[in-house]
Each structure stands twice: as C-alpha cells, then as structure tokens.
Amino acid sequence: MALGQRTLNSGRRTGGVLVLIIGSICALITIGLLAGGGFLMWADRTQRDASGYLASGSTRLASASYAVVATDVNIALSAPDWPVAQDALGTVRIRATSVDPGNPVFIGIASRSDVTRYLQGTGWDQLTNLRFAPFGVTYQNHPGGAPASPQAQSFWVARASGAGTETLAWKAASGQWAIVLMNAGATPAVSADVAVGATAPMLFGLSLGLLIAGGVALLVAALLLVAGARLLHSGPMSAAGASSAGWLPAPPPPPPPLGPLSYPLRIEGTPAATPSRWLWLVKWFLLIPHFIVLIFLIPAMVVLTLVAGVAILCTGHYPRSIFDFNVAVMRWWWRVGYYGYSALGTDQYPPFSFSADAAYPATLDVPYPERLSRGLVLVKWLLAIPHYVVLALLLGGTAVAVREGIAYSVPYTGLITVLVVIAGFAMLFTTRYPAGIFDLVMGLNRWVYRVMAYVLLMRDEYPPFRLDLGGVERPRAAESQVPASPPPLTQPGVARG
C-alpha cells in the first residue's frame, strides 16, 4: 500500500512538472503576444499625426552621386492565402526637403526593374542599411555618368518634385518597388531631409488580434500552471519523500514569528569559510542550466500572481498552492543569485530543487498571510513606484537618452553588481570576502526581495526604506534585547577590520 502511494505521488509530481513546463511555455507566448499587441495598440492610438499617419522622424540622406535609391521595397499582399486585404498598408507618404533651397528635389516610386534600367550606366548610391539608434546610413556606390531627367520618365507610379518640402503619396500595392531621391535637374550631390509615414489601417485589427490571442494564451497558461502547482502539492508525503523529490516544493519550515522580524520575509546567507579565488570568474557559465530553468519559472510566477490577484480580490485569501510555488521560485532565484553575481556568497552549487534545504547556505521564506487586503491588490504596483527608483539603482538596467530626436539605449551597472565585483577581486587576491561589503550586499538584496514579495501580492506590509545589513535577519527591537553572549567578531570567510 505504501509502495502504491509512493508510486502515485511520484506520478503526480512528474505530471505536475510536465504541466508546469507546458504552462510556462504558454506563459512565455502570452508575454510576447500581450507585449506585441499592447505596443501596436499604443502606436495606433497615440503615435499618429494630425493626418492619421504613423510617421518617422526626419532623416538626412546625402550622396555625392546622382541619386539615392532604396531598391528592396518588397510588398506581398496578394500571395496565396494571404489574409490581409490589398489596402492593408494604406497610403505611404514620403516627404523630402532639399538641404539647398535653390536645388529642387525629386522623389519617385517605380517598379524595381524600371528603375534599374533607368539608372543603368549612371552614378547612384544604393541605400543598404538605415539605423536610428545610433543613427547611421550605409550606401553601396554604383559609378557612372549622369542620368536622363527623372521628370521626363513615364514609368513612375507616384512622384513629386519642386523646391521646399515635397510630399509624395502612394497607395501601397503588391510588387517589387524602388524609391528614388534625386535633384530635379539630375545634377550630382543629392542632399535632403526625408520622413516616411503610412496610414496602416490594419494596425488596429492586428493589435486587437494579438491582444485577444494573448488573453486566450493567458487563460490556458493560468489553468495549466494552477493545475501543475496543485499536482505538486497533492497527496500525502513523508518528510523523507519530500526532501528527495527535488522538484517538489516541500512543506516550508515553520514560519518565523512576525513580531521580531524587520519585515515578514526572511532572507539570509552564510558566507563561505574559504572562498575560491577564481571560481567567481566562471560562475556565469556554470549557472547557465539554472538560467534556462528560471526562463520558464519566472513567467509562470508572473501569470500565477495574476491568478492569485483575482483570488485575493474576490476572497481576501492568497491560494496556498500558488503562494508556496511562488515562494519556491523566489527561493530558487535567491540561491542562484547568492551563488552568482547577486552576492558571490558561496561556492556550493545551488540545487535544482524547490525544497527548503537547511543545509544550503542561502535561505528565503515568506510567512503565509491568513488574510490580505482586497483593495491593495489593485494599487500595490503603483504604491511601489518609489521603490522601483531605488531598485533601478541597485540592480542596473538600460537608460534611454534622446539627442536630436534620436533615442539611444545606454546600459548601466547597478550598485549590487559593482560591490560584488569588488568583493570578487578581493577574494582573488586575499581569499577573503570583505565583511563590510558582504553585510551591505545582503542588506541591498534584502531590500530587493522585500519589494518583490510586496509586488507579488504576498504581503500587505509596505517594504521599509531601510537597509537591514548582515547575513542574518535581525529582530526589529534588537536594541531593547540583551544578548545572552557577545556576538562573534568574525564570520567564516569574511574579513574583518
């Protein structure tokens, strides 16, 4: 009977893991669909000009030859089974302003074959690459003589020429097209500011379709993840079975008392007694298997948090199976970070396990709340905005700078990474982890995970704007308690003084 029960539990755990993997894949697809649909909807609703065009900024195109030509304008709206109507792209608008007011500009669109014949033997530059962040234009030069007047040609499907700003409007159609920018007099040294736009009437329908598909994928992912979490927690299990299950989130240890803790989340770490000098240099490579697992677990945690939010809003309770799963993912994440570049606190490789392992030198637990505020569910993400500013400084990220209308992405390193790298070099030369840096790194990580627990709806207590330093959680009223014995002056592997 016991053997049959263990077999049943093992089957449930295996099934739960498989369902969680499939649900995590659906969660990744959900994030992509919703992000894409949301971005397109935002562009369609907010980025159109007064004429209804989605337009780029003005770009300077300049060449010493007779023409600048974009030859790879391929539009396929009439392919077999193509579900988009012929007018899906709407009207394309090209505006060109000659840099030299006395030299009229010409812009034209024609089939690629006609343009190739027209420019054969003449000098022109083919536009091969145009990037905006940072801005850059790449041309391929075709040497030759002067072409015939572009205004005398009859093959243009749309054209515009003249002094000042000229606007070309073209109803997009299937085919292989080329866009030509020249001086109206077919003279060399072309230079003009060009802006391109389109009405793109299909954009709203496309964004709406992506959002609907994302909603369906979200529902499927939520059902699979909830089912997987329940399978992992279903059925009786002995403590020995739980500890050997690996993937199973074993019942957490008794939660720490809420009163003494600075915040109802316990995150601790014990530094290595004799840290390796060089291992920290390759931990990024050793952790690749964990990163692959987290790629699936983190989207699953996000989707399950949305499910838990609905449950809290309706009942005031966080579903226990989802809560335990999210805590287990946070624990996994913290172990990987503690081994890796969030702390470099240990050389003991993190286990592939949800279980709370007392033998591992990094621990994380969140006491389960018996009841949560329904109203706070809707505003916690907003209330945490001041903490987001702090986390951006602690964790690093990407800053966006705008210069002359061009956006540049500038990555920057967070304070935690800087401190950990300093500690790594200290270990490289001394095999000692500076105690002050270790205590500060632990306090900063503690800040990060407290905000995470709050935003993941696990607690209603607002995270404090306070650094609680050290590898061990300190009681909130520590100053009023008399220790039974003096604290140790040193910790294993941590340099003091």
Taking residues 154-166, what's their average pLDDT? Answer: 90
Taking residues 180-204, what's their average pLDDT? Answer: 89
- Tell which of 150, 183, 198 closes a domain: 198
Taking residues 463-489, what's their average pLDDT? Answer: 66
Are residue 288 and residue 422 in the same domain, yes or no?
yes
| pLDDT digits 0-9 by tens, 339-395 | 999 999 999 999 888 888 778 999 999 999 999 999 999 999 999 999 999 999 888
What pLDDT sits at residue 21? 74
Are residue 209 and residue 232 in the same domain, yes or no?
yes
Residue 131 forms part of a structural domain: yes
CATH code for position 168:
2.60.120.380
> Across all residues in the chain, what is the average pLDDT?
81
Taking residues 182-189, what's their average pLDDT? Answer: 91
Taking residues 140-160, what's their average pLDDT? Answer: 92
What pLDDT sits at residue 247? 42
Taking residues 16-35, what's their average pLDDT? Answer: 78
What pLDDT sits at residue 239? 37
What pLDDT sits at residue 205? 85
Look at 83-92, 178-187, 435-444 and tell me which has the smallest mean pLDDT: 83-92
Q: How far is CA 80 from CA 73, 201, 202, 453, in A?
A: 20, 21, 19, 51
What pLDDT sits at residue 130? 65
Residue 246 forms part of a structural domain: no
What pLDDT sits at residue 12? 63
Are residue 184 and residue 214 in the same domain, yes or no?
no
| pLDDT digits 0-9 by tens, 282-308 | 998 889 888 988 988 888 899 899 999
Of residues 462, 456, 463, 237, the one with CA closest to residue 325: 456
Residue 250 forms part of a structural domain: no
Residue 122 forms part of a structural domain: yes
Are residue 72 and residue 9 in the same domain, yes or no?
no
What pLDDT sits at residue 81? 45
Q: For the chain, how are helix, strand and coil distributed in percent, rounded to 5?
A: 40, 20, 35
Are residue 288 and residue 368 in the same domain, yes or no?
yes
Give the pair of three-digit tokens for residue 228.
Answer: 């997987």
Are residue 159 and residue 271 in the same domain, yes or no?
no
What pLDDT sits at residue 403? 56
What pLDDT sits at residue 401? 62
User: Does the structure show a pLDDT above 80 at 336?
Assistant: yes
What pLDDT sits at residue 240? 38
Look at 129-133, 214-218, 263-267 and tell me which has the smallest mean pLDDT: 129-133
User: Does the structure show a pLDDT above 80 at 168?
Assistant: yes
Taking residues 113-142, what's their average pLDDT? Answer: 81
Give the model's confidence band at 484: pLDDT under 50 very low, under 70 low, under 90 confident, else very high: very low
Give the model's confidence band at 402: pLDDT under 50 very low, under 70 low, under 90 confident, else very high: low
**By percentage, how much of the chain surpasses pLDDT 70?**
79
d(CA 351, CA 340): 13
Give the pair of three-digit tokens for residue 296.
Answer: 């699936």
Are residue 277 and residue 418 in the same domain, yes or no?
yes
Write down the residue that tokens 């529902």 correspond to.
219
238 vs 353, higher pLDDT: 353
Give the model's confidence band at 482: pLDDT under 50 very low, under 70 low, under 90 confident, else very high: very low
What pLDDT sits at residue 397? 75
User: What is the domain extent for residue 41?
Assistant: 1-46+205-236
d(CA 126, CA 70): 6
What pLDDT sits at residue 379? 93
Give the model's confidence band at 243: pLDDT under 50 very low, under 70 low, under 90 confident, else very high: very low
| pLDDT digits 0-9 by tens, 31-84 | 888 888 888 888 888 888 888 888 877 888 888 999 999 887 777 654 444 444
d(CA 125, CA 142): 6
Are residue 150 and residue 220 in the same domain, yes or no?
no
Beta-sheet pairing, 190-198 with 54-55: antiparallel
Give the model's confidence band at 105: pLDDT under 50 very low, under 70 low, under 90 confident, else very high: very high
> Domains in the chain: how many in total?
3
Are residue 222 and residue 319 in the same domain, yes or no?
no
Residue 245 forms part of a structural domain: no
Give the model's confidence band at 148: pLDDT under 50 very low, under 70 low, under 90 confident, else very high: very high
Taking residues 122-141, what's their average pLDDT? Answer: 76
Give the pair of three-digit tokens for residue 60.
Answer: 């300077």
Q: What is the dihedral of CA 17, 20, 26, 27, to 10 degrees?
A: -140
What pLDDT sits at residue 257? 46
Are residue 37 and residue 83 in the same domain, yes or no?
no
Residue 242 forms part of a structural domain: no
Are residue 35 and residue 64 in the same domain, yes or no?
no
User: Does the structure show a pLDDT above 60 at 91?
Assistant: yes
- Tell which of 179, 198, 217 closes a domain: 198
Residue 249 forms part of a structural domain: no
Neighbours of 62 (CB within 10 A): 15
Amino acid at residue number 133? A
Are residue 402 and residue 419 in the same domain, yes or no?
yes
Residue 243 forms part of a structural domain: no
d(CA 373, CA 462): 12
User: Does the structure show a pLDDT above 50 at 249?
Assistant: no
